[in-house]
Structure 1
Amino acid sequence: MADTLLVLGVGAIAAALLVVALVVLPPGPGQVPLSRLDPSVAPPTSPLASAGAAAGAAVEKVLHERGRLAAGAAALERAGMSTTLPNFVLAVGLAAVVATGAGALLGGPLVALLLLVGVPLAAKLLLGFRAGRRQAAFADQLDDSLQLMASSLRAGHSLLRAVDSVSHEAEAPTSEEFARIVNETRVGRDLNDALDEVAQRMGSDDFTWVAQAIAIHREVGGNLAEVLDAVGHTIRERNAIRRQVKALSAEGKLSAIVLMSLPFGVTAFLSVSNPEYLAKFTESLVGYGMLAGAAVMLLVGGVWLKKTVAITF
């Protein structure tokens, strides 16, 4: 305990000295950087920025060699995060290292192991949660977006101008996705390909129908406004059914969340109130076997609960 307090005290003193050096002490004489006088000269970078860039390049190389660069970047796009994949991986890795060190000092090896595994898992769950929420918002806004497109077409605007009006009038994430469609078509990409990619990224079968309707209209012609009205009416009925199913399954989902979080809550409480009780699990092979069995049963129960409350229609 004394060693832990000593380490925390040294860290607090170092942080205080850093704050004094950065905030209290006056800065040196200001100079105009050479990069502002000569555009051909690259702006100077700090050692910290250089180290970060080198680490990001190394992480990007490793991800590229393992073939996970494209999949990771696509996951960040689905979640609506503007950061790059190497920076995200570095941030998660740094958070895992810091959390593991703090857990080893305060809670012992078991807590450190849980944090080492839990931080990357939490980052992955965060991406999935943000992507799911973004896709759900896109699905809720789709019928209004189609109505706005149909109104623009009836007013005499072109299809691309109708898409652009949605990018300005709709809410996020619909406005962001439609703005991306407009930008991609302006640099030469085919409109059908851009629409199909949005449908795939948002995981929306309804928008796939919209993309197919637009593709058929571009080939054979017809009144696209009426087609969009019909598709929008179908989507509104599907959204009403989806909301009803969501309301009926809310109790089961809440029960699944409580049951899945209960073991972690009890473990955290015991680690604070009676750490000797949990230490028995890491002192023998039988204890490790019990932990492994609990993890397997928790995983099986989580999958079972997820399949029970996940209703596909």
Structure 2
Amino acid sequence: MLAPFLVSFLILFVVVMAAITMASKFFDAKRKKQVSSMLKTATGDPQPEVSVSNLLMEPAEEQRSFMERFLEGLDIAQKLQAQMQQAGLDWSPLKFLVMTLVFFVIGVVLGLRFQFIGFGYTSLALGAGIGLLPYFYVRRSRTRRLAKLEEQFPEALEFLARSMRAGHAFTISLEMLGEELPEPLGQEFRTLFNEQNLGAALEVALKNLTNRVPLLDMRFFSSSVLLQKQTGGNLAEILTQLANVIRERFRLKGQVKAASAHGRLTATILMCMPIVTMGALLIVSPGYLQGMAKDPDGQYIIAAAIVAQILGNYFIKRIINIKV
């Protein structure tokens, strides 16, 4: 009797969340239309659409729904928004929440549909696992983007140093760097230049840059620029030395990665063996696991095995992840 109740509750919950989101979008769109109409009347602008974004390209208050404004007030939503921004994803906390709920419901429904895993905590665990896919995607995208940014950074520093040696000012060098450098680092320096060009102090613009790109090298760069601004000195030479240090660390990191390749391969094999074994048993002898999956004690054992697998993966990665 628990399964139909749980499915009904999940469906009702998703429907209510969707209704609240659509209603908030409707009323906020109506308000935005009224504001745009008043602005058009006041300015005599014949264009039907009026942008209400601020100068730093942040969404204006009227452009966000009630649910988005509510979530933005939560500390966890702010941290999640920062991670999505660092991952280069144009997602809002509301969109992330809806995607997580949808994937969770899909996982629970799949757990109820395929009876070989039984019902109970196993279906909820499957729903939770699939529901975490958006979070894992954000984390993976963030890691890959930060790695790409770190790889491009020495080239950017050398570009700035050469430009300043050629006689260009620091701000002009930033503009040239943002135009010449490929993504994703080019976009970050374009944002840095635009913020400063629109009136933001250099300290504030650099702080925003380090928040968007939380790399140690970026903090070194910001500190070097601010220190040179306060005390003077040859900034081009400082940036060149910093680029050389970063390249040397990359070389050392490559050596460490080659030395730990055996451990990473072992970890991959150990993590895949239980999954491959269970899949083979389900194909060759489905009844072998059905008894355990349908028995309450067996479900606890399966759940404990999944938890042990996750913990094992975590500790192995911590062991082979050597920071340089």
Give yes or no for TM over 0.5.
yes
- Tell me, yes or no, if structure 1 residue 238 matches structure 2 residue 246: no
Name the residue aligned to 1:123. 134
Choose which of 260, 264, 273 in structure 2 pairs with 1:262. Answer: 273
Q: Does 1:170 align with 2:181?
A: yes
Cα distance in 2, alignment partners of residues 217 and 177 from structure 1: 21
- Aligned residue for 1:255, secondary structure, equals helix
Q: How does 1:1-313 map to 2 (within 5 A)?
A: 57=65, 59-60=67-68, 63-64=71-72, 66-107=74-115, 109=118, 112-313=123-324
SS of aligned partner of 1:126: helix
1:154 CA displacement: 1.4
CA distance 1:225–1:94, change in 2 (3 Å): same
State the alpha-carbon separation in 2 of the partners of residues 292 and 106 from structure 1: 17
Cα-Cα RMSD: 2.9
* Counterparts in 2 of 1:253 and 1:59: CA distance versus 1, 3 Å: farther
Residue type of the partner of 1:90? Answer: V
Q: Which amino acid aligns with 2:305?
A: A
Checking the alignment, whether the CA contact within 8 Å between 1:195 and 1:211 is kept in structure 2 is yes
What is the letter of the counterpart of residue 109 of structure 2? G
Number of residue pairs matched? 266
C-alpha displacement of 1:299: 3.1
How far apart are the structure 2 equivalents of 1:207 and 1:64?
A: 27
Query: Equivalents in 1 of 2:69, 2:286: separation in Å?
Result: 42
Contact persistence 2:177–2:189 (CA under 8 A): yes
- Unaligned 5+ runs, structure 1: 1-34, 44-55
AA partner of residue 238 (structure 2): V
CA contact (8 A) 1:150 1:226 kept: yes
Say which is worse superposed, 56-65 or 211-220, in terms of deviation: 56-65
188-197 vs 107-116, which moves further: 107-116
Offset, 1:109: 4.4
Cα contact 1:185–1:194 (8 A) shared by 2: yes
Asked whether the equivalents of residues 112 and 123 of structure 2 are also in contact (C-alpha less than 8 Å), the reply is yes
1:269 CA drift (Å): 4.1
User: How far apart, CA to CA, are the structure 2 residues paired with 1:230 and 1:250?
Assistant: 30
8 Å CA contact 1:57–1:86 kept in 2: the answer is no
What residue identity is the alignment partner of 1:60?
Answer: E
1 CA distance for matches of 2:194 and 2:283? 54
* Aligned amino acid, residue 249 of structure 1: S
Alpha-carbon distance between aligned partners in 2 of 1:184 and 1:271, rounded to the nearest angstrom: 57
Measured in 2, the distance between the counterparts of 1:42 and 1:268 equals: 58
For CA contacts below 8 A with separation 6 or more, give which structure has more relative contact order: 2
Gaps in structure 2 of 5+ consecutive residues: 1-33, 42-46, 50-63
Asked whether the equivalents of residues 149 and 162 of structure 1 are also in contact (C-alpha less than 8 Å), the reply is yes
